[in-house]
Each structure stands twice: as structure tokens, then as C-alpha cells.
């Protein structure tokens, strides 16, 4: 119980810092060891992987970052799309009618659910792994949608929690729970 309270207090302090810089480049949870990715990790304790931004392709911007004790959400937008892509890390998810596709990483099951293919290409990707799930909500105009989906999958990567735990301990002296 004491550890949970400490973790909640630490997360609250880090979330305050995250919200304060939500409009800056500093808010981006990069695919590198650091406090920002540590914040993502603490939002879903035990999640084997954490969504992070490797490199934003030309024309893409980071729009929003929100963390609480239910998970992490962030949004990305392309200058060739009229709607943002929402990325969410949660403790678990139901993939429903989604179909399995090529997994994004070892130990990950990836699914695709397409809800529209007519004038828009819309749906969800799910990356499902031990103690967590990343949901990608997308809705693109048909035409540039193929390139946009490929760019999204290159931009958002999965960072192994065990790797982050080790790197935070070695580089910053921070212990990541659990």
C-alpha cells in the first residue's frame, strides 16, 4: 500500500510537469531512456512495452500528451491528414473483430480493425502484450492513407519496459516500479 501511494505521488508530480510542457517539444515521449518515457511506464505499471515516438516523419507534428493512473494518451498529426491519430496505452484491451497482422515486436500480438474503406480509411491498430495494450485510432482520407499508415508505424515504436528499467537505473539512478 505504501509503495502504491509513493508511486501515485511520484506520478502526480511527473504528470504536473508533463502537462506544464504539453505544448513543447519536451512533451514528446521519445524512444530513449528518460523521465518522459518513465512517466509513460508508471501510467500502466507492468506493461511489457511502452509506446514512444522514434522520429516524426516530415510533415508530422506532436499535438497532445496526457498521463494519468489509467494510462497514457498522445496525438500525432500529419499535414496531409485532416484528423489527428490518437495513441493510447492502457492496461488491457478487447480487440473484438480485429484481424491479426504482422506483429510489431517479439512478444506482441498486433491486430487491425478497419471501420471504413470508402471515402476514408479509418480504424484501429492494437498492439497487445503482457499487462498492456496500445491502441492507435486513425481516420485518413483515401489516397495518401497508405503512406500515412506506414509513416505512423515508423514514427510510433514500442520500447521494452525491461530495457527502460535497466537504462534508468544505470544512467539516472532512477528505480522504475515494477
Paired residues of 125 in beta bridges: 112, 136
CA angle 19/131/96 to nearest 5° reads: 95
List, for residues 55-111, the tens digit of each pLDDT value: 999 999 999 999 999 999 999 999 999 999 999 999 999 999 999 999 999 999 999
* Whether 89 contacts 40, CB under 8 Å: yes
Domains of the chain as residue ranges with CATH: 2-168 (3.40.1000)
66, β-bridge pairs: 73
In this prediction, residue 58 carries a pLDDT of 96
Q: Is 26 helix (H, G, I), strand (E, B) or coil?
A: helix
∠ CA 106-46-149, rounded to 5°: 45
Q: What are 122-157's pLDDT values in tens digits?
A: 999 999 999 999 999 999 999 999 999 999 999 999
Q: Higher pLDDT residue, 53 or 8? A: 53
DSSP character for 30? B
Extract the C-alpha cell encoding 120. Answer: 476514408
pLDDT for 13 equals 46
pTM listed for this prediction: 0.85
Amino acid at each position: 500500500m505504501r509503495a502504491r501511494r509513493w508511486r501515485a505521488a511520484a506520478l502526480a508530480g511527473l504528470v504536473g510537469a508533463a502537462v506544464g510542457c504539453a505544448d513543447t517539444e519536451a512533451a514528446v515521449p521519445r524512444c530513449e531512456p528518460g523521465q518522459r518515457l518513465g512517466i509513460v511506464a508508471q501510467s500502466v505499471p507492468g506493461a511489457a512495452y511502452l509506446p514512444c515516438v522514434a522520429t516524426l516523419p516530415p510533415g508530422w507534428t506532436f499535438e497532445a500528451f496526457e498521463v494519468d493512473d489509467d494510462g497514457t494518451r498522445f496525438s500525432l498529426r500529419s499535414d496531409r491528414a485532416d484528423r489527428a491519430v490518437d495513441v493510447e496505452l492502457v492496461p488491457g484491451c478487447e480487440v473484438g473483430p480485429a484481424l491479426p497482422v504482422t506483429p510489431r515486436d517479439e512478444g506482441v500480438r498486433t491486430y487491425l480493425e478497419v471501420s471504413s474503406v470508402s471515402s476514408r480509411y479509418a480504424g484501429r491498430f492494437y498492439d497487445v502484450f503482457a499487462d498492456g495494450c496500445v491502441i492507435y485510432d486513425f481516420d485518413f482520407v483515401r489516397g495518401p492513407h497508405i503512406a500515412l499508415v506506414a509513416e505512423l508505424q515508423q514514427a510510433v515504436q514500442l520500447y521494452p519496459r525491461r530495457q527502460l528499467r535497466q537504462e534508468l537505473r544505470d544512467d539516472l539512478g532512477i528505480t522504475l516500479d515494477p
